[in-house]
Structure 1
Amino acid sequence: MSAVQPSSREHAAAIFRAGVAAADPYLAVKHFLRADSELLHIGSEQTGYRSDGWRRIHLLAFGKAACAMADAAQAIIPEAWLAGKGIVVTNYDNIDVVENCQVFGAGHPLPDAAGFHAAKTIANRLSGTNPDELVLVLISGGGSALLPYPAAGINLADKIATTQLLLASGAIINQINCVRKHLSQLKGGGLARLAAPADLHALILSDVLDNDLSAIASGPTVPDDTSFADAIAVLESFGIWRQIPSSVQSHLQQGAQGLQTETPKSGDAIFQRTGHTLIGSNASSVDAAIDKAQNLGYQTQVYSKQLCGEARLVAEQLALHALTVTAGMTQPTALIAGGETTVTLKGNGKGGRNQEMALAFALAAERCGLNGAWTFLSGGTDGRDGPTDAAGGVVNNHTLQRIRDAALDPDAMLDDNNAYPALKAANDLILCGATGTNVADLQILLLHPNA
């Protein structure tokens, strides 16, 4: 094995950690929230401030970074200003004790009964809000699954079944959320509707590529300009309309006919008292990864800040691009990307989009003749990739040989969506545990000139 491999792998891991650290939710809230003796100030010099003397503040936090965000907020807001204990909802891996808060664990990526209970707890709190109070909402990635509150006539099992079909269909997150919003009482502006007539402000850690606030956690505090008809179109376009439960079909059809209340749209009066501040994003993590790569001596290129598409196809495109970069390359080079790919499940294996992309890249690099020493890492900033304990994979030009030495066929395993055991055999899984944040995925490709 080339002597460059160990340091290259360590460099990829260090660059990934720098990207994750840039999305630290505790520090992000600290930067955008401040209290003095009279007023609570929300925002920054760059975003502008919203300040008022609220003396009943309802603190709600949900998402994979909810505990850290709520911990920061309760440390800033005087306890006497809080309208009871805060409500915090996160996935089971990220549960932590938060002072002055009730913490709920809930299912992700599939919703569960615990999340339903937490959602009802939030709805009950909001039912008693009044003017001159503030609902301070701390939102991070994962909130869509963590707060299931099905519309009347849909039970949780039917909503879970619909979510499973969407996740396996290859639909992108905006399409999945379009459907979820129209099956929920909280998503798509539903939380803002429940919070009225109180003031509302959301501090948002983005896990979507374009920082579309209506897509993060399915936009519970912002207008939703999609429709019931759009939701039906998504399900039909992926061929799963006939597979979804009849209660879901009936609800969406009634909505399209005007027999169910639409999600609140732009211009609705409930949004006159709401505000939002974006406090972190995938783009910030990509920038931090670039800085770290440069500090480690790499020439850097931003491959994409909005990487999306089918994971294995994106991997092939990256491998072909790398081939052009290596032609005449004289210095170590890092290609950095951020985003969120998708996987259309056709097999019965175990893995996630980052593991699939890592294995697909190794195979594509072999096919296109990407010679020399290279290392490719694809990982989820939340530390979890699909229904596994891995954040993703980190592969190099010896990965496929290690898999084959274990008597496994990497091509067949990719076809079966079975990247996890393939990468495990090569000792190429990223096992870092839950990070407590979530700003989508990072991809790091390190290329070294031929000796």
Structure 2
Amino acid sequence: MNSLKEEILYFFRLGVHAADPNSLFEDFWEDHSLLQETFHTSKKNLFVFSVGKAAYPMAMSFVHDFPIKNGYILTKYGHLPTEKQIIQEDSIWKYREASHPILDQNSIDHSNEVLNLLKQLGKNDRLVVLLSGGASSLFEIPIEGYSLIDMISIQKRLLNSGKFIHEINLERKKSSKVKGGKLLSELNSELEVYTFVISDVIGDDPYTIGSGPTYPSENYFILGNLTKSIQTIIHKAKQLGYQTKCISDTWTGSVEETSYLIEKEFLSAIESNTKQMVLIGGELVCPVNGNGVGGRNQELALRITILLEKHQVNRNWMFLSAGTDGTDGPTDAAGGVVTNNTIALMKEKKWDPIVQLEDSNSYPILKDVNALVMTGPTGTNVNDILILLVEGSES
């Protein structure tokens, strides 16, 4: 590799790949061979409902092992292959897209469509629900008395509040007909239901992941979370000669708190002559204080470039903060990646980083200095990965 930026992006992609549905299902079936055999030998008709930002790759990974009768995929706009966006359905699958992180009319229309299909299933059928991050806004039917406008208002208020995801989803359940296990109550009591999940929730709380439409349930399985991604990055970094330090793989700090922690770790890292990696996995909390455009990872990157400017060191460094789903907030970026000269580039282009930070406007300023992480939809979703790299002094 020729640069720190190439290395840091490589590490991030490595972490994302470790949470790929194909990899996660392969590992899962190795550990659950009896359940796998049950699916192979069952005479029941198999129906798959896959919902979330990883809905399409999860569905394709599942049917690689098991033939199904019918299936329904509900995912975020732009997360289906182009041809599926055009065709929308074939002899087996219905392909649908809706809005995230704020629901829209398609969210409700598609949710009613799939619910009507699921209600037709009975004792001779088996339903497999494949759940990933983003399902809370994609799969939604309001209870009586709540309109689409009401639901949009509620979701915007919650998402801008800076609350933790379990608090947000707890509030969402109050106005929903399908969240918090309510989907199960809508279905035939004789229908077998299995749920397989890629967790984007710290602690893997099944009540919180996708707002838990099929929980509680005894047939509920978590395929993977952020831990595997973090371990994979650490393993490779050590092979490449980095001295590594993992702060946490369940981090839930605010962007402000996290930025000061990274600054502290940076000052510690430069005391060593060897090249250093500091790694954090988790989900940042980021209240929206202005009218700008950005996301929690982009704001953290902007904060880091402001904080580290005052530390004049003869060492190259690079910091990345990005979401493993490829989407940071309501933007098309996964996050931000900044380095020694980022702040100088911003000022050269007549930006005031502090003013942009105060307006929650991290996206335009990072874009203008080529400091966005752009991946497109990754096919998985296991929270955020934060990486700080510091070159060795001998470099």
What TM-score do you get using the length of structure 1 for normalisation? Answer: 0.81
What residue is the counterpart of 2:322 in the other structure? 379
Q: Does 1:149 align with 2:141?
A: yes
Distance in 1 between the 2:128 and 2:26 partners? 14
Moved over 6 A (4+): none
SS at match of 1:130: coil
Correspondence list, 1:17-416, <5 A: 17-32=13-28, 43-45=29-31, 49=35, 51=38, 53-79=42-68, 82=69, 85-96=70-81, 97=84, 100-195=92-187, 196-223=189-216, 271=217, 274-327=218-271, 329-367=272-310, 372-416=315-359
Distance 1:430 1:70 in 2: 27
Does residue 431 of the first structure (1) align with residue 370 of the second (2)? no
SS at match of 1:76: coil
Structure 1 residues 296 and 46: alpha-carbon distance in aligned structure 2, compared to 1, 3 A threshold = farther
> Structure 1 residue 369: deviation in Å?
5.7
2:201–2:383 contact (8 Å) kept in structure 1:
yes
CA displacement 1:398-440 (0-9 Å, x = unmatched): 1111101111111111111111122122211111211121111
Q: Give the counterpart letter for 1:208 in structure 2.
A: V
Instruction: Tell me, yes or no, if the aligned pair for 1:308 and 1:314 is still in contact at 8 Å.
Output: no
Pick the aligned partner of 1:418 from 361, 366, 379: 361
Cα distance change, pair 73–217 in 1 and its aligned pair in 2 (3 A): same
Contact 2:292 2:361 in 1 (8 A): yes
Aligned partners of 2:103 and 2:137: how far apart in 1? 5
Question: Could you tell me how far apart the structure 2 residues matched to 1:311 and 1:157 are?
Answer: 30
Which of 377, 385, 390 is matched with 1:447 structurally? 390
Distance in 1 of aligned mates of 2:178 and 2:248: 33
Distance 1:183 1:295 in 2: 50
Paired residue secondary structure (1:337) = strand
TM-score (norm 2): 0.92
Which is further off, 287-296 or 150-159? 287-296
In the other structure, the counterpart of 1:267 is: none
Matched letter for residue 199 of structure 2: S
1:90/1:105 contact within 8 Å kept: yes
8 Å contact from structure 1 (residues 320, 368) kept in 2: no
- Using the TM superposition, give the Cα deviation of residue 311 of structure 1 relative to its aligned residue in structure 2, in angstroms: 1.1
Unpaired runs of 5+ in structure 1? 33-42, 224-270
Task: Describe the SS at the equivalent of 1:90.
Answer: strand
Q: Distance in 2 between matches of 1:397 and 1:307?
A: 25
User: Distance in 2 between the 1:410 and 1:15 partners?
Assistant: 27
**For the residues of structure 2 that align with 1:132 and 1:322, how far apart are their CA atoms?**
59
- 2:12 match: 16
Aligned Cα RMSD in Å? 2.0
Consecutive unaligned residues in structure 2, runs of 5 or more: none
- Output the CA distance in 2 between the equivalents of 1:48 and 1:410: 56
Secondary structure of residue in 1 paired with 2:196: strand
CA shift for structure 1 position 309 = 2.2
Shift of 1:321: 2.2
Q: What is the CA–CA distance in structure 2 between the aligned matches of 1:133 and 1:287, rounded to whole Å?
A: 39
Following superposition, the deviation at residue 8 of structure 1 comes to 0.8
Hey, what's the Cα distance between the residues in 2 that align with 1:319 and 1:371?
Answer: 16
Q: 3-state DSSP class of the match of 1:49?
A: helix
Cα distance in 1 between the residues matched to 2:33 and 2:361: 44
Distance (Å, rounded) in 1 between the aligned partners of 2:278 and 2:265: 10
Structure 1 residue 132 displacement after superposition: 4.6
What secondary structure does 1:64 align onto? coil
| Cα distance between partner residues in 2 of 1:447 and 1:408 | 26
Q: Take 2:196 and 2:311, find their aligned partners in 1: how far apart are those partners?
A: 45
Separation (CA, whole Å) in 2 of partners of 1:29 and 1:120: 29
**Aligned 8 A contact 1:312 1:361 in 2:** no
Give me the whole-angstrom Cα distance separating, in 2, the residues matched to 1:290 and 1:300. Answer: 7
Q: 8 Å contact 1:322–1:370 — kept in the other structure?
A: no
Q: How many residue pairs were aligned?
A: 383
AA of the residue aligned to 1:90: T
Distance 1:46 1:29 in 2: 10
Identity %: 35
Q: Distance in 2 between matches of 1:306 and 1:161?
A: 30
Gap change, CA 1:127 and 1:403, over 3 Å in 2 = same
Deviation of 1:10 after TM superposition, in Å, equals: 0.6
Check 1:24–1:405 CA distance in 2 against 1; reply closer, same or farther (3 A cut): same
Task: State whether residues 25 and 69 of structure 1, in contact with CA within 8 Å, keep that contact through their aligned partners in structure 2.
Answer: yes
Cα distance per residue 1:173-225 (max 9 Å; x no partner):
111000111111111111222233311111101111211111110111113xx
Could you tell me how far 1:89 is from its partner in structure 2? 0.3
Residue 252 of structure 1: aligned partner: none
Contact 1:188 1:214 in 2 (8 A): yes
8 Å CA contact 1:403–1:426 kept in 2: the answer is yes
1:76-130 residue CA offsets vs partner (Å, 9 max, x unmatched): 3234xx2xx2011000121133862101001000001111111112211222222
Q: Compared with structure 1, are the counterparts of its residues 63 and 75 closer, same or farther at alpha carbon in structure 2 (3 Å cutoff)? A: same
- Structure 2 CA distance for partners of 1:194 and 1:435, relative to 1, 3 Å: same
